[in-house]
């Protein structure tokens, strides 16, 4: 068969700030060699309308669902078999099946080869289900599918899947059903050793699986002299020596989900541990003391949030000289505790916002309690604009321990903030699926 892999964007607009999508390196690795294949990532390139493969495999995330359905209808009309996978497809398999022939639910390593064999034998099933399992994860990656494509110079690497925490707004727990699975560390280190770059990002949802595992990773990667970043929870600050070990092993950037500065809000979101013993502020100071740049994430739209919170939060991020900060609307992702809670309380602007006609990126999905919907949307966008103003960028650059500590950090800071500024203005008001 001739197989076409597709990564849809949220719209037809292109981006200059995306990394290689590892899910397709996995599918490529598990596709038998007698099948030919091609791959298109709509975030960085156009998808040819005239191609006519036997099978089209589309990754569906919630923000890109409308665009995924657009391509499914296009290729379905050309007689192609269309299959789906991804977080949104796993959360809403019956919805995606309205637009295609089959869906892979959960991880694809074991189910993808079965699906291909069934299709060859004219016995394709509508659903292929892989129940998440914890423990040791054995997976392969074939990055040859990305050859010639213009991705970010920072290469993604995955050690494990899942998170030890259970934040109510996060889709990670619903996808992996509370499990943690990790590749053998020796496999990860061997992969890193073979990568054609010295700058990488660990895309694990939370690299802080345990103090010992994090220490083992840092010990293994240190001799390789790589520069790396990661997503990690703020509770690592309870182990100051670990952050020092991270820095000594080459860590230069940490993404931490702060979400809110209000302890009651964090408690309601199942993230009260973030404020335990001033966890977040301690983590910020600890990372900076060790020369690690910080990428912070904040969410607006919780029950107690007011208009005043916008300036308070962005001022906090500027004052602490974050490398970059995300200021997000509260995203009620299907399948999460938050989604069901808000849907049942009639607080969603649309129960199916991801495919609502004309829905614009940056428009609220939630009706806030203490401001109008318009004030909510404008407040988040204004917070973003304040943080990415040239005045803010220049002020935050002056952190000598982090952004000015090396030429690499200086380069990453400037390019990262310039790209982030451009992408924020470009994405705002894009119509999902157009």
What is the rounded average pLDDT of the residues 277-306?
89
- Residues 107-118: tens digit of each pLDDT: 899 999 999 999
Confidence class for position 277, pLDDT limits 50, 70, 90:
very low
pLDDT band at residue 161, thresholds of 50, 70 and 90?
A: confident
Class of the domain covering 2-129:
alpha beta
Mean pLDDT of the chain: 92
- How sure is the predictor about 252, in pLDDT bands with cuts at 50, 70 and 90? very high
Q: Which of 90, 118, 88, 92 is nearest to 105 (CA)?
A: 90
pLDDT of 270: 61
pLDDT at 278: 62
- Structure confidence at residue 177 (pLDDT): 64
Query: Whole-angstrom Cα distance, residue 80 to residue 72?
Result: 9
pLDDT digits (tens, 9 = 90+) for 62-95: 999 999 999 999 999 999 999 999 999 999 999 9
Residue 260 contacts residue 298 (beta carbons within 8 Å): yes
Residues 6+ apart with CB under 8 A from 103: 83, 84, 85, 89, 93, 96, 97, 126, 127, 128
Q: Scanning the structure block, which residue is given the tokens 């392969």?
A: 140
E-strand stretches of 8-158: 36-41, 55-59, 81-85, 102-105, 127-129, 135-136, 155-157
What is residue 267's three-state secondary structure? helix
pLDDT at 36 over 70: yes
Q: Is the dihedral of CA 394, 395, 397, 398 positive or negative?
A: positive
pLDDT reading at 280 higher than 90 = no
**404-420: average pLDDT:** 95
The number of residues in the chain equals 434
Percent residues over pLDDT 90 in the chain: 80
Mean pLDDT throughout 403-412?
95
CA dihedral (207, 212, 215, 220) in degrees, to 10, reads: -100
Instruction: Tell me the mean pLDDT in the region 292-315.
Output: 94
The confidence score (pLDDT) of residue 219 equals 97
Fold for domain 153-427?
Answer: TIM Barrel (3.20.20)
Residue 368 and residue 376 in contact, taking contact as beta carbons nearer than 8 Å: yes
Is the CB of residue 154 less than 8 Å from the CB of residue 199? Answer: yes
Q: Where are the domains of the chain?
A: 2-129, 153-427
Going by C-alpha positions, the residue among 201, 162, 210, 164 that lies closest to residue 182 is 162
């Amino acid at each position: 068969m001739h197989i076409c892999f597709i990564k849809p964007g949220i719209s037809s607009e292109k981006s200059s700030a995306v990394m290689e999508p590892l899910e397709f390196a996995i599918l490529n690795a598990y596709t038998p060699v007698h099948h030919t294949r091609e791959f298109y990532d709509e975030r960085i390139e156009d998808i040819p309308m005239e191609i006519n493969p036997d099978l089209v495999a589309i990754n569906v995330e919630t923000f890109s669902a409308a665009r995924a359905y657009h391509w499914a209808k296009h290729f379905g009309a050309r007689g192609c078999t269309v299959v789906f996978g991804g977080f949104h497809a796993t959360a809403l398999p019956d919805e995606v099946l309205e637009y295609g022939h089959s869906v892979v639910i959960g991880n694809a390593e074991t189910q993808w080869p079965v699906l291909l064999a069934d299709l060859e034998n004219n016995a394709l099933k509508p659903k292929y289900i892989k129940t998440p399992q914890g423990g040791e994860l054995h997976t392969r990656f074939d990055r040859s599918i990305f050859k010639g494509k213009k991705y970010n110079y920072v290469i993604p690497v995955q050690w494990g899947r899942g998170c030890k925490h259970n934040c109510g707004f996060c889709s990670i727990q619903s996808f992996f059903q509370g499990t943690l699975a990790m590749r053998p560390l020796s496999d990860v280190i061997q992969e890193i050793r073979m990568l054609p770059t010295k700058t990488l990002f660990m895309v694990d949802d939370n690299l802080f699986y345990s103090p010992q595992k994090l220490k083992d990773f840092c010990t293994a990667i240190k001799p390789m002299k790589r520069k790396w970043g990661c997503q990690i929870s703020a509770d690592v600050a309870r182990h100051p020596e670990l952050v020092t070990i991270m820095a000594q092993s080459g860590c230069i950037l940490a993404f931490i989900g702060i979400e809110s500065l209000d302890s009651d809000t964090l408690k309601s979101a199942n993230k009260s541990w973030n404020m335990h013993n001033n966890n977040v502020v301690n983590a910020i100071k600890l990372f900076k003391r060790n020369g690690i740049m910080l990428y912070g994430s904040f969410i607006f739209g919780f029950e107690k949030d007011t208009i005043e919170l916008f300036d308070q939060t962005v001022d906090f991020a500027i004052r602490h000289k974050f490398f970059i900060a995300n200021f997000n609307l509260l995203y009620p992702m299907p399948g999460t505790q938050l989604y069901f809670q808000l849907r049942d309380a009639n607080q969603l602007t649309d129960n199916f916002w991801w495919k609502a006609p004309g829905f614009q990126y940056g428009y609220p999905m939630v009706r806030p309690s203490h401001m109008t919907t318009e004030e909510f949307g404008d407040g988040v966008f204004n917070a973003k604009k304040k943080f990415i103003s040239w005045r803010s960028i220049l002020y935050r650059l002056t952190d000598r321990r982090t952004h000015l500590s090396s030429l690499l950090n200086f380069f990453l800071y400037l390019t990262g903030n310039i790209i982030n500024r451009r992408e924020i203005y470009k994405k705002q008001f894009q119509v999902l699926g157009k």
